[in-house]
Every structure is written in C-alpha cells, then in structure tokens.
Amino acid sequence: MSDHHHDHGHHPHPISDVQARARALESLLRDKGLLTPGAVDTLVSAYEQDIGPLNGAKVVARAWTDPDYKQRLLADGPDAIRELGFGGLQGEHMVVVENTPEVHNVVVCTLCSCYPWPVLGLPPVWYKSAPYRSRVVREPRAVLAEFGTELDADVAIRVWDSSAEIRYLVLPERPAGTEHLSEDELAGLVTRDAMIGVQKVEAPA
C-alpha cells in the first residue's frame, strides 16, 4: 500500500517499558551467543503468517464443512471457537462476520492494533500502520485492490472497527471447486489475510 506520510525520523516516538525490556533481553541473548541475528524476525514471521493463523484456518474449514458449527460460530464466535480448543486473551469478545457474494467484510482497528490473537496470531505490520488504519475506512475498495482483491461494483463492503471490547474475524467465502477437499485440505487454503478480509481464499490450481 502507498500513502502520503510525513518523515518523523527527527521525532521518534518513545518506546514502552515492555519494548525496552524486550530489546534488552534480545541484546543480552545475542551477546551470549544464544540468539542469532534474524532469529527473532524469523520467529515473529512464523507466528504472524503460519503458526497463529492455523487456528483460524481450522475454524474456517470447520464452518465450511459443518453447517451446524457455522451457525454456532456466527451466533457466538468465542464459544464455537473454544469447541476447537482455541481461546484466551484478546479473543474473549469476538464476532465472526461472513463474506457472501453480495457482501465483503474487512477488519481494521482505527485506534491501535486490536486483533484476535487466539485465531490469527500476531498482527502483521501493515495492519498496525497508520495508512491502512485510516485509508481502509475512507476508501476500502481501493485498499482491497492494492492487496489484489478486485470486487464487482455491486458487492457491498463493510468495514469493522476492532476495539479492546470487541474483535472481528472474517469467515471467507469457500472457493468454488473445493467440494472434494477434506477439512484439513481446506484449512490449508485459508490465509491470515483472508480472515482479516483484505484477500479472498483461492482454490488450488
């Protein structure tokens, strides 16, 4: 994504106590040879894109294959998600919104970076960025197009603003031509970005 921004390089924001302690610990581990350069970035990337979103992908795949579960998921997201063994902090109050051929949902947190950690892992950097947080509310269709998601003009877009009180998970549309796939195979198609709503789930080639 692109957006106009000001250079705040001369006025850095002070880091929090937690950030300071994390940096100090990382530095200490590196100095003692217990942590290689880039290891933290690799670990964070894994939790952002692979390990964390696997939970959400399993939830989506179950909803695609079990109509009763889907009904429970849309009625009470946290309770249905706990059925699969997922839950905890940042996921106590969660609403699941369903994409359909007529409606496409996308999630943002305009104030900070509230995010359903139990099903999506760590929030990606772009989700926390000021351009995404402001632009997806004003021009969602343009932002989605930048993620490669082109929607027909007659598809309504709903933007859901997460907060400390409530977080949202998008239930993507099941792609056509996947009727023969197992639940595990379907889960393998579901991406983190589809559960935020910036992309669709694609059928396997």
| Residue 145 in this model has a pLDDT that exceeds 50 | yes
For the stretch 123-133, pLDDT in tens is 899 999 999 99
Over residues 12-33, the pLDDT tens digits come to: 445 556 556 666 766 776 677 7
pLDDT of residue 7: 37
Q: How far is CA 37 from CA 30, 40, 44, 111, in A?
A: 7, 8, 13, 32
Domains of the chain: 55-196 (3.90.330.10)
- pLDDT of 10 above 70: no
Q: What is the pLDDT of residues 182-196, one digit of tens each?
A: 999 999 999 999 999
Rg of the chain over Cα atoms, rounded to whole angstroms, equals 18
pTM: 0.76
For the segment 43-68, the average pLDDT, to the nearest whole number, is: 79
Banded pLDDT at 136 (limits 50, 70, 90): very high
Eight-state DSSP code of residue 66: -
> Which positions are catalytic?
109, 112-114
Instruction: Answer yes or no: are the C-beta atoms of 172 and 28 closer than 8 Å.
Output: no
